[in-house]
Amino acid sequence: MSRILRVNMTDRTVQYEEVPEKYRFLGGRGLTSSIVYDEVDPTCHPLGPNNKLVFAPGIITGTNAPTSGRVSVGGKSPLTGGIKESNAGSGWPQSVAKLGIKAIIVEGYPKDGGWWGLHITKDGATFFPADEYAGRSLYEVYPLLFERFGKKVDICSIGVAGEMKMAMAGVCFNDAHGRPSRYSGRGGLGAVMGSKGLKFIIVDPEGGPGVQIANPDLFERGRKKMLEALRQHDITKPKGGLNTYGTAILVNILNEAGGYPTRNFREGRFEGAAATSGEAIFETNKRRLGKELYNHACHPGCVIQCSNTYYDEQGNEIVSCIEYESTWALGANCGIDNLDAIGKLIWLCNDIGLDTIETGGTLAVAMDAGLLPFGDWQGAIRLLDEEIRKGTPLGRILGNGAAFTGMAFGWHRVPGVKGQNMPAYEPRAIKGIGVTYATSTMGADHTAGYTIAPEILSVGGKADPRDVKKADLSRNFQITTAFIDSSGHCLFIAFAILDIPSGFEGLVEECAGVLGADWTADDAARIGKEIMEKELAFNRAAGFTKAHDRVPEFMKYEPLPPHNVVWDVPDEELDAVWW
């Protein structure tokens, strides 16, 4: 029987609660968004006593379903002011699920100062003082924690950015090798964790009851279908696109399409794309290590295995991993074409506790506003290491994200929606993803409804990227994504299940098998829609209107090279998504 663990940071008490019937068939994003909707006042200050931080493994997380070690972290976002679900892959949610915990709700507000860690085992949850770890490098602290609590624990933490409650602070989880490198990065939830005085949640799964599977036959049938689909599809199969080149395989593809935002969204093509692509990572590693290096899993049981490790000339690790979004944010978007420097910048983000997308977007806005020249990677490293890490006045401006930085520098070219900077797809060149950015409950977020699949990759059908009629496409993707984010599967399974129908059946059967639900494919859409409705209701109560579902004005009048396109999706098309 799984339970909910409620953690009160006002009096530092914990309580295990039975799972209410209304949450029985929920997990991951469906559960975090439902709890936030039910328990958090939408008008509360995100860093005040009335916000809550909710962690939920997906429905099938902790089972042997492939590629299913995902966690949803939810709360009211200090970056957007709306509801937030930020998703990461790690062994951490698998350990939580194996202890029979369906969600962890962190609430209250510390009465006194100091930092605390929470240690969860099969015997319960206890606090420990964590002041000795505060203000330090996460790469330095994680080995100390593994030494203290045992090699088999999993760690959730914030870095110094979260301690300083910066709006681009992420929540960090260890990868399969113990690195502090897997992030629920978007939306500043690390700052919410910091506001609660909570530095770590350390989970030891030893002796836990494991995940109960209500209908093992159905689950197994679904698991096999999913596994087969992932092993077949060219993008997800072993030594396929993601396993060989990682997510950065997208760099050359988006660059070719003229949709690769460059120098703070001034151009759609970057002259340094090839040098900072997934292919470049693979070939550079091969040259430096003298052998081909395929990617690894960010958590036990991922069969796609898209996480790379990047090495220097001496064969020493620079960072793991360089994602598409990160090589873009800290590369093309800042005009930086030096892969070693990009690796170092990603390492710094991991070490300080920052979302790489918002960090790159912030540096790009600052560069555009004149703080640094585009391409100045030494200056970018200095801003992260000397200003943000140390919390100088400039560091605190930058640490609060691109919109805050744009305001501080009086700069109007801030490519964000609802306060969150856009990721690595240009909405002027690819309209559907722009519709998702504009209308997502999360602010500008590609993962909320990845229309790039049909618009650019010809996955799940084909859609003309310049066609402005994208309300239906974006809405359908957003609804389906809300279900996948609840399942516990990594979103990258979508490549396979969009093209292989039995893979989608497998997804539904795995979830129904664990829960003992009587679900069909139609239920996936129903559940996704219900999740979206709660998130939309929260945001409307928080003050969001149609006027917030818009891309920045400069995109309407600045043509984007090389295709010289502007944002021309009518407002009525945007309003047709949810209003």
- The nearest distance, CB 302 to ligand SF4, in angstroms, is 3
- The nearest distance, CB 387 to ligand SF4, in angstroms, is 30
- The nearest distance, CB 307 to ligand SF4, in angstroms, is 5
CB 211 within 8 A of CB 97: yes
- The nearest distance, CB 305 to ligand SF4, in angstroms, is 5
Q: Which is nearer to ligand SF4, 304 or 422 (CB)?
A: 304
- The nearest distance, CB 67 to ligand SF4, in angstroms, is 5
- Name which of residues 389 to 448 contact ligand SF4 (CB under 6 A): none
Bridge pairing between strands 3-8 and 13-18: antiparallel
Q: Which is nearer to ligand SF4, 325 or 505 (CB)?
A: 325
- Name which of residues 28 to 57 contact ligand SF4 (CB under 6 A): none
Contacting residues for 415 by C-beta, under 8 A, at least 6 apart: 261, 264, 265, 361, 365, 402, 421, 422, 444, 552, 554, 555
- The nearest distance, CB 320 to ligand SF4, in angstroms, is 11
- The nearest distance, CB 303 to ligand SF4, in angstroms, is 8
- The nearest distance, CB 319 to ligand SF4, in angstroms, is 15
Q: Which is nearer to ligand SF4, 7 or 248 (CB)?
A: 248
Of 458, 529, 483, give the one whose Cα is nearest residue 233: 458
x/- track of binding to ligand SF4 for residues 442-481 (CB under 6 A): ----------------------------------------
CB 541 within 8 A of CB 43: yes
Q: Say how many Å lie between the first and final Cα of the chain, rounded.
A: 40
Q: Which is nearer to ligand SF4, 33 or 247 (CB)?
A: 247
Q: Which is nearer to ligand SF4, 203 or 302 (CB)?
A: 302
Alpha carbon separation from 67 to 54, 231, 299, 561 (Å, rounded): 22, 12, 8, 38
Q: Which is nearer to ligand SF4, 450 or 492 (CB)?
A: 492
Task: Report the C-alpha gap between 566 and 380 in whole angstroms.
Answer: 29
- Name which of residues 286 to 315 contact ligand SF4 (CB under 6 A): 297-298, 302, 304-307
- The nearest distance, CB 230 to ligand SF4, in angstroms, is 9
Does residue 562 have a cis peptide bond before it, meaning omega lies within 30 degrees of 0? yes
Q: Which is nearer to ligand SF4, 307 or 400 (CB)?
A: 307
User: DSSP assignment of 226-245, as one string?
Assistant: HHHHHHHSTTTSTTSHHHHH
x/- track of binding to ligand SF4 for residues 54-93 (CB under 6 A): -------------x---------------------x----
Q: Which is nearer to ligand SF4, 254 or 298 (CB)?
A: 298
CA dihedral 72, 454, 494, 261 (to 10 degrees): -40
CB 562 within 8 A of CB 426: no
- The nearest distance, CB 322 to ligand SF4, in angstroms, is 12
Q: Can you read off the two tokens belonging to residue 52?
A: 């809550």
Q: Is 281 in the site for ligand SF4 (CB under 6 A)?
A: no
Instruction: Give the CA angle between residues 356, 165, 89 to the nearest 5°.
Output: 40
Q: Which is nearer to ligand SF4, 95 or 362 (CB)?
A: 95
- Bridge partner residues of 6 (DSSP): 15, 105
Rg (CA), the chain: 22
Of 84, 49, 90, give the one whose Cα is nearest residue 188: 84
The dihedral of CA 377, 378, 383, 389: what is its sign?
positive
Q: Can you read off the two tokens belonging to residue 29?
A: 């994003």
Q: Which is nearer to ligand SF4, 317 or 472 (CB)?
A: 317
- The nearest distance, CB 103 to ligand SF4, in angstroms, is 20
Q: Can you read off the two tokens belonging to residue 366?
A: 């600052």
Of 144, 97, 96, give the one whose Cα is nearest residue 119: 96
Cα 128 to its chain centre, rounded Å, is 28
Q: Which is nearer to ligand SF4, 33 or 307 (CB)?
A: 307
Task: Report the C-alpha gap between 112 and 1 in whole angstroms.
Answer: 35
- Name which of residues 486 to 505 contact ligand SF4 (CB under 6 A): 490, 492
- The nearest distance, CB 306 to ligand SF4, in angstroms, is 3
Q: Which is nearer to ligand SF4, 199 or 299 (CB)?
A: 299
Q: Which is nearer to ligand SF4, 80 or 447 (CB)?
A: 447
- The nearest distance, CB 89 to ligand SF4, in angstroms, is 4
| Size of interface with ligand SF4, in residues (CB under 6 A) | 11
Alpha carbon separation from 536 to 17, 440, 485 (Å, rounded): 27, 9, 16
Bridge pairing between strands 198-203 and 116-121: parallel
User: DSSP assignment of 333-354, as one string?
Assistant: GGT---HHHHHHHHHHHHHHTB
Q: Which is nearer to ligand SF4, 66 or 552 (CB)?
A: 66
Q: Phi and psi at residue 528, in whole multiples of 5°? A: -60, -40
- Name which of residues 100 to 119 contact ligand SF4 (CB under 6 A): none
- The nearest distance, CB 336 to ligand SF4, in angstroms, is 23
Contact residues toward ligand SF4 (CB under 6 A) are 67, 89, 297-298, 302, 304-307, 490, 492
